Amino acid sequence: MAVALPAATLAITTNMTGTAAQLPASETSIAAGGGVTFPNNGAIVLRIVIGAAGATVVNFLNERPVLGQLVGTILFTTSSLANNGIYLFGPFQPSIFNDVNGLVNFTMVTYTGNSAGVYTLPGWVT
């Protein structure tokens, strides 16, 4: 069973005084295996926080037929993400990454100790 991340509620932005938006130190725990999903409108950035013992590889899945690739197969794989690292991925083109429910799906080699969250890019019209 996949872990479902909540929809993005915070935009990555800077206010008029130049103060950057503060993102949390950690995100939603993704300790369970079986994959992760999140809603995607094309203006979403995925933030993955790797724990002290959670170095991993992330596999983003192809959800639409692209150049003869099968649906549900790995579209691309990251290099190994280091312990105690924070990584941003996206935005994700809905016509390639979204499944029939409007969700992006990814798997990780290691889930325990890692967390993830989603954010909206400012100024995007979806």
* pLDDT tens column, 67-118: 666 566 667 778 788 888 888 899 998 988 888 899 998 888 888 888 888 9
Q: Domain for residue 125, yes or no?
A: no
Alpha helices in 7-83 (DSSP H): none
Beta-strand runs (E) in 62-114:
74-77, 86-89, 103-108
The chain-wide mean pLDDT, for the chain, equals: 78
pLDDT reported for residue 2? 58
Q: Domain for residue 37, yes or no?
A: yes
For residue 7, the number of C-alpha atoms closer than 13 Å in the C-beta half-sphere is 7
Q: Domain for residue 91, yes or no?
A: yes
> Range with the lowest mean pLDDT among 13-22, 49-58, 91-100?
13-22
pLDDT reported for residue 102? 92
What gap in Å lies between CA 54 and CA 84, rounded to an integer?
A: 8
Q: Domain for residue 15, yes or no?
A: no
- Residues whose CB falls within 8 Å of the CB of residue 9, separated by 6 or more in sequence, listed in order: none
Query: What total of structural domains would you count in the chain?
Result: 1
Q: Domain for residue 77, yes or no?
A: yes
pLDDT class of 39 with cuts at 50, 70, 90: very high
Q: Tell me the residue range of the domain where 88 lies.
A: 28-120
